[in-house]
Amino acid sequence: MHKFLNPARKKRLYIVLFIIAGVSIALAIMMTALRQHINFFYSPSQVAAGEVSAGQRFRIGGLVVDESVMRVEDSLQVRFALTDGAQEVWVTYAGILPDLFREGQGIVAQGALDEAGVFQADEVLAKHDENYMPPEVAQALAEAGHPTQLSTPDAT
Amino acid sequence: MLPELGHFALILALLLAVVQAVFPLLGSFYQKPAWVALGQPAACAQAFFLVCSLLCLTAAFILNDFSVAYVAENSNSRLPLHFRISAVWGAHEGSMLLWMTMLSLWGMSAALASRHLPENISARLISVLGWVSVGFLLFILLTSNPFERLLPYVPLDGADLNPLLQDIGLIIHPPLLYLGYVGLVVPFAFAMAVLMSGNLASAWARWLRPWAVTAWVFLTLGILLGSWWAYRELGWGGWWFWDPVENASLLPWLVATALIHSLAVTDKRGMFKAWTIFLAIFAFSLSLLGTFLVRSGVLTSVHAFANDPARGVFILILLGISVGSAMLLYAWRAQSLREEVKLHLWSRETMLLANNVLLVVMTLSILLGTLYPLILDAFNLGLISVGPPYFNAMFVPLAAPLLFLMALGPHQRWSKTQPSEWLGRLRYTFAISVTLGVVLPFVVTGSLQGHVVLGLALACWVLIATLQDLLGKGMRRGKGFTGVWQLPRSQQGMVIAHVGVAVCAIGIALSSQYSQERDVRMVPGDAYTLGAYTFLFEEVVSGEGPNYTTTTGLFEVSKTKRGGEQVIGTLAPQKRLFYVRNQIMTRAAILANGWRDLYIALGEPLDERAHAWAVRIVYKPFVRWIWLGGLLIALGGFVALFDRRYRQKVAQAFQGAIDLGRLKPANAE
Amino acid sequence: MMNSANSNNHHQKHRLAWLRWAAPLAVFLLLLLLFWRGLSLDSSTLPSPLVGQPMPAFSLEMLHDASVLKTEQDFKGQVALINVWATWCFACHHEHPMLMDLAYLNRVPIYGLNYRDDREAALSWLEALGDPYQFTVFDPDATVSIDWGVYGAPETFVIDQKGIIHYRHVGVITINDWETVFLPLIEQLEQAA
């Protein structure tokens, strides 16, 4: 094998090494970017069990507890509790809530826990539908090539 | 009766698709021209019956036939007529039928046009198209029949079309998008036919170019309209969300873009044959993949209820068979497609190769981000979501070199160019672009932001260099505009499209960096000032639409100019409460001109007694440029279609270059 | 660089040429596997925190008679199904004939939990389509349904004799679901007692 390492082959080898290096660098960049920008999803039970530490960004999903939604006078600050049936977590959010946000509705919020264990959301997404089949919105939107079942009041 | 006819037409279409799939293929192997000849009429008849079927479904919607489950689920007697028609593709079953109808129309057109191809290619092309039809018709008939009846309990009225879909954008957007998605089947079928026949002449590339470009134009328009719709209907001012479903349409677009560029090389220089074939397969695979992701619910499973595993399994099997067989065929034949490639660093080919590499890397990085939640979930590593920051972090560094090279590419000759030929011209262009990129934002805003400088400089670079190239080449043909007009249409199209990309880049860079957005609490009588604009909340009025009630906020917008305040318009954002679904929809109001959009949306009533509302006020500069650029890109593709060379009989190009396969030469029609 | 790399290296190129097709093919096969697995993950994505727990306590009016209150105690005693339904829910339309069949089979009692609905509409629905339920409790504000972790309709819970929830089914029950999931579970629960 080795004696065949003529200049042409050497060049070839370099090219291959170059490609491998390029691919690994690209992959490494992608993976780092991914690691930095993913958000884990936790349920209120998991949060209550202390699986998440304060300050860590994640998504939480659950149903808005009935009669828990409170507005702060003269501002857009809102506070409500999320439950998965077992545990509740308090969420605060400043801004416009999605149209489908109501008590009893399933929502997903993105943000982090503060020191007091209250979830500070910077984004609240509401499920468009509580009807499983036909899963109209999710699917209809999806089929049309669109953001599926989540509507967001937050612009990118 | 009509729904049964529609169902029957679907079954007939399936039988015809089987004929179209089987006979031409067997005929081409056993040298039976009569069998091969069955393909074309079968393709036409299949398209005819699918159109009939689609019309039957449309009729059921127009006539409010709520005994049809799909109509009952997606329409209502109070829904206006135009939305009753667009409701046909408002949900899975109907949109699948539309998808399929478009597939058959593409199949028919390709079958008709293929008479200019050697018979051993055209027979297989028609057959592959037939197989794809068979797969999807089976899918519709077995898992997603839109004609299913709700008997004996017939609802008195329907559940209404989802309010979000009751928008002009949704009337035209899905058909265009599907035309694009599905149009990629022609390059795919063609690639398969070429691989099967082992016919390695590059003359086929010329036949394929207009097909690939047409599909790409529709895909571009479809994505564009989708983004515009999202901006108006659910974006709250955003126009792209990197949602898995949006990505599903962007991925085939990126690869189709790579494909139309590599086809140019194959057509002009006879190189990159294997690569072009691979891209043709890849593009359609991604379009199938998108269909799978969107309709199976695998990706959105974290939050979605919308899933029907049976459909998912079916599409996965279709995906496996079609892409798997294509890849195996490719593996088997790719060896024989080996070619001598002589690339010079400074040549059009190299530039287009770089374009392809960047586009494919972009595709892969977006694909990875889209599928990453699924990968982690599959290994029980947690439920996650990948947000826009990831995609932005990947997209910008890849788009920048792409734009940089986009300006350079057209200045290169095929085969080999001396850098000295263009270095002189482009040196100044480069300097001017960088200067503009730095000076313009600084003069206007008094500050500098990296992304704006980069975006603006690159856009100027592309814009100026492209026009330089156009004028330079036009000048050689004749004076002024006559020279430019006399250039080949494909060249003019390329220039328009590239200018479109530059316009789009300006729009993205400026709107994403300079947008201002405020959520405020307002009571009638309040005024809010954002930059030079003042928004006076006048009053709230109630009204009624055909199938909803409205609450409208009236805002007077004025602009501070040197002389004082000047009223520039009234904005009337609405809340609509749709009767049937008892669902509230936000209808934003937009005051737009070429330079900026003023966007107001009513949030929710905060205090009934004081009539306080949460209001979102957004100032978005240059956001229209994004869609204007997109339109130019599509227009460029459209213009390129009129290139005279595409209309020359490709058969002539094939003659002599190749042996015409085992069949007797195609007898003239 | 590209020039020298790609020309006159015919045989070396040959050796690596298989990568050109093998790599995409391998990636594709991996993706297929991934998607296959993804599809099977679907049904398990909404695990109820209540599985393995006793039913949450409640007290609700009966649909047919607002003066009668039912509590979780009324569901106990047998392995049973609790089906969450509503008239606005089209999936429930699809599911209804299946429930009627199950009621006819009379393998286990089925209780209804009418969810965010209108009493009149719900009653006329049962009149028109038949009533598969032993009885239905009426939860117009979804107060109880939230405790149950109900996200939508239809949903079906399997409870044992002591009122412990053993399974939560999201969406329409198909014959396949009945045969492969419900029936084995019901038999197992009955034998365990």
- What are the percentages of helix, strand and coil residues in chain A, rounded to 5? 30, 30, 40
The whole-angstrom separation of Cα B381 and Cα C35 is: 16
Question: Which residues face B591 on adjacent strands?
Answer: B598
| Closest-CA distance of chain C to residue A56, Å | 23
Give the CA distances from residue C161 to residues C54, C83, C134, C165, in Å, rounded to whole numbers and listed in that order: 11, 17, 16, 10
Neighbours of A147 (CB within 10 A): 27
Residues 48-67 of A with CB under 8 A from B: 59, 61
Please indicate whether, in this complex, the C-beta atoms of B234 and A152 are within 8 angstroms of each other.
yes
Please indicate whether, in this complex, the C-beta atoms of C5 and A15 are within 8 angstroms of each other.
yes
The whole-angstrom separation of Cα A146 and Cα A140 is: 9
Give the CA distances from residue B502 to residues B44, B402, B407, B508, B630, in Å, rounded to whole numbers and listed in that order: 41, 11, 10, 10, 10
The whole-angstrom separation of Cα A34 and Cα B271 is: 36
Neighbours of chain A (3+ CB pairs under 8 A): B, C
ipTM: 0.76
Chain C residue whose CA is closest to B415: C3
Query: Which residue did the predictor score with more confidence, A100 or B174?
Result: B174
Q: pLDDT of B426-438, one tens digit each?
A: 999 999 999 999 9
Q: pLDDT of B316-368, one tens digit each?
A: 899 999 999 999 998 888 777 666 667 778 889 889 999 999 999 999 999 99
Two tokens, residue B58: 């449309």
3-state secondary structure of B33: helix
Q: pLDDT of B507-527, one tens digit each?
A: 999 999 999 988 898 999 999
Q: What is the SS3 string spanning B69-102?
A: HHHHHHCCCCCCHHHHHHHHHCCHHHHHHHHHHH
User: Considering chain B, what is the average pLDDT of its residues?
Assistant: 87
Mutate to test the interface with C, among A1, A10, A13, A15 (most CBs of C within 10 A): A15
Please indicate whether, in this complex, the C-beta atoms of C151 and A63 are within 8 angstroms of each other.
yes
**Number of residues that make up chain A:** 156
The whole-angstrom separation of Cα C117 and Cα B69 is: 21
Query: Taking Cα atoms as reference points, which of B312, B271, B313, B205 lies closest to residue B646?
Result: B205
Q: pLDDT of A126-152, one tens digit each?
A: 765 444 332 232 333 333 333 333 333
Mutate to test the interface with A, among B528, B604, B607 (most CBs of A within 10 A): B604
Two tokens, residue C158: 């399997």
Neighbour-count burial for C133-149, b at 16+ CB within 10 Å, e otherwise: bebbbbbeebebbbbbb
**What is the H or E stretch that residue B172 is in?**
helix B168-183
Please indicate whether, in this complex, the C-beta atoms of C45 and B301 are within 8 angstroms of each other.
yes
CB under 8 A, 24+ apart: contacts of B525-534: B528/B615, B528/B617, B530/B617, B530/B619, B531/B619, B532/B559, B532/B560, B532/B561, B533/B557, B533/B558, B533/B559, B533/B560, B533/B598, B533/B619, B534/B558, B534/B559, B534/B560, B534/B565
Mutate to test the interface with C, among B343, B351, B376, B379 (most CBs of C within 10 A): B343
With a cut of 70, say whether residue B169 has pLDDT above it.
yes
The whole-angstrom separation of Cα B362 and Cα B356 is: 10
- Among C1, C17, C35, select the one facing B345 at the smallest CB separation: C1
With a cut of 80, say whether residue A68 has pLDDT above it.
yes
Give the CA distances from residue B518 to residues A36, B514, B595, B602, in Å, rounded to whole numbers and listed in that order: 28, 13, 19, 12
State percent of chain B over pLDDT 90. Answer: 54
Query: Taking Cα atoms as reference points, which of A140, C53, C161 lies closest to residue B164?
Result: A140
Question: Which residues face C85 on adjacent strands?
Answer: C114
Query: Taking Cα atoms as reference points, which of B21, B29, B20 lies closest to residue B661?
Result: B29
The whole-angstrom separation of Cα A154 and Cα B235 is: 8
The whole-angstrom separation of Cα B379 and Cα C32 is: 15
Q: What is the SS3 string spanning chain C?
A: CHHHHHCCCHHHHHHHHHHHHHHHHHHHHHHHHHHHHHHHHHHHCCCCCCCCCECCCCEEEECCCCCCEEEHHHHCCCCEEEEEECCCCHHHHHHHHHHHHHHHHCCCCEEEEEECCCHHHHHHHHHHHCCCCCCEEEECCCHHHHHHCCCCECEEEEECCCCEEEEEEECCCCHHHHHHHHHHHHHHHHHHC
Is any Cβ of chain C less than 8 angstroms from the Cβ of B545?
no
With a cut of 90, say whether residue B240 has pLDDT above it.
no
Q: Find chain A residues with C-beta within 8 A of B382's C-beta.
A: 40-41
The whole-angstrom separation of Cα A46 and Cα C49 is: 10
Pairing relationship of beta strands C80-85 and C110-115 according to DSSP bridges:
parallel
Phi/psi of residue C68, nearest 5 degrees: -95, 125
| Closest-CA distance of chain A to residue B652, Å | 39
Q: Which of A71-75, A120-124, B255-259, C54-58 has the highest mean pLDDT?
A: B255-259
| Closest-CA distance of chain C to residue A90, Å | 16
Task: Work out the pLDDT band at B303, boundaries 50, 70, 90.
Answer: very low
Is any Cβ of chain C less than 8 angstroms from the Cβ of A71?
no
Neighbours of chain B (3+ CB pairs under 8 A): A, C
The whole-angstrom separation of Cα B268 and Cα B265 is: 5
Is any Cβ of chain C less than 8 angstroms from the Cβ of B148?
no
**Number of residues that make up chain B:** 669
Neighbour-count burial for B339-371, b at 16+ CB within 10 Å, e otherwise: eebbbbebbbbbbbbbbbebbbbbbbbbbbbbb
Classify residue B67 as exposed, middle or buried by CB count within 10 Å of its CB (0-12, 13-18, 19+). Answer: middle
Q: Let me know: does C141 contact C116? Beta carbons within 8 Å.
A: yes
Please indicate whether, in this complex, the C-beta atoms of A87 and C50 are within 8 angstroms of each other.
no
Two tokens, residue C113: 């939990």
With a cut of 60, say whether residue A28 has pLDDT above it.
yes
Task: Work out the pLDDT band at B653, boundaries 50, 70, 90.
Answer: low
| Closest-CA distance of chain B to residue C6, Å | 6
Output the pLDDT for position B324.
92
| Closest-CA distance of chain C to residue A55, Å | 25
The whole-angstrom separation of Cα B494 and Cα B88 is: 36
Classify residue B64 as exposed, middle or buried by CB count within 10 Å of its CB (0-12, 13-18, 19+). Answer: middle
The whole-angstrom separation of Cα B511 and Cα B525 is: 30
Chain C residue whose CA is closest to A45: C49
Is any Cβ of chain C less than 8 angstroms from the Cβ of B154?
no
Two tokens, residue B532: 């030079």
Q: Find chain C residues with C-beta within 8 A of B298's C-beta.
A: 35, 38-39, 41-42
Query: Taking Cα atoms as reference points, which of B283, B289, B191, B214 lies closest to residue B244?
Result: B289
Query: Taking Cα atoms as reference points, which of C161, C92, C98, C80 lies closest to residue C125?
Result: C92
Q: pLDDT of B2-51, one tens digit each?
A: 999 999 999 999 999 999 999 999 998 898 899 999 999 999 999 999 99
Is any Cβ of chain B less than 8 angstroms from the Cβ of A35?
no
Please indicate whether, in this complex, the C-beta atoms of B377 and C38 are within 8 angstroms of each other.
yes
Q: Find chain C residues with C-beta within 8 A of B377's C-beta.
A: 38, 41
Q: Let me know: does B600 contact B616? Beta carbons within 8 Å.
A: yes
Quote the radius of gyration of chain A (alpha carbons, Å): 24
The answer to which of B171-180, B440-449, C91-100 has the lowest mean pLDDT is: C91-100
Q: Find chain C residues with C-beta within 8 A of B338's C-beta.
A: 13-14, 17
**What is the H or E stretch that residue A127 is in?**
strand A119-127
Is any Cβ of chain C less than 8 angstroms from the Cβ of A88?
no
Q: Where does B409-520 have alpha helices with state H?
A: 419-445, 450-477, 480-486, 489-514
Residues 57-96 of B with CB under 8 A from C: 69, 72-73
3-state secondary structure of A81: strand
Task: Say which DSSP state A107 is in.
Answer: E
Q: How far is CA B37 from the centre of its chain?
A: 34
The whole-angstrom separation of Cα B655 and Cα B119 is: 12
Tracing tokens 């307002």 back to the chain, one arrives at B522
Mutate to test the interface with C, among B298, B333, B350, B583 (most CBs of C within 10 A): B298
Q: pLDDT of C84-126, one tens digit each?
A: 998 777 678 778 888 999 999 889 999 999 987 888 888 988 9
The whole-angstrom separation of Cα B35 and Cα B24 is: 6
**What is the H or E stretch that residue B629 is in?**
helix B623-640
| Closest-CA distance of chain C to residue A16, Å | 9
3-state secondary structure of B514: helix
Q: How far is CA B458 from the centre of its chain?
A: 24
Please indicate whether, in this complex, the C-beta atoms of C49 and A11 are within 8 angstroms of each other.
no
The whole-angstrom separation of Cα B190 and Cα B122 is: 8
Tracing tokens 């086809």 back to the chain, one arrives at B263
Please indicate whether, in this complex, the C-beta atoms of A63 and C149 are within 8 angstroms of each other.
yes
Two tokens, residue B237: 């001012």
Query: Taking Cα atoms as reference points, which of B395, B635, B637 lies closest to residue B508?
Result: B395
Q: Find chain C residues with C-beta within 8 A of A48's C-beta.
A: none
Q: Let me know: does B312 contact B297? Beta carbons within 8 Å.
A: yes
Chain C residue whose CA is closest to B334: C21
With a cut of 60, say whether residue B239 has pLDDT above it.
yes
Output the pLDDT for position C5.
39
Please indicate whether, in this complex, the C-beta atoms of A133 and C50 are within 8 angstroms of each other.
no
The full set of domain ranges for chain B reads: 1-166, 517-624
Question: Which residues face B402 on adjacent strands?
Answer: none
With a cut of 70, say whether residue B301 has pLDDT above it.
no
Output the pLDDT for position C9.
42
Please indicate whether, in this complex, the C-beta atoms of B343 and C6 are within 8 angstroms of each other.
yes
Q: Let me know: does C151 contact C46? Beta carbons within 8 Å.
A: yes
- Among B95, B159, B519, select the one facing A76 at the smallest CB separation: B519
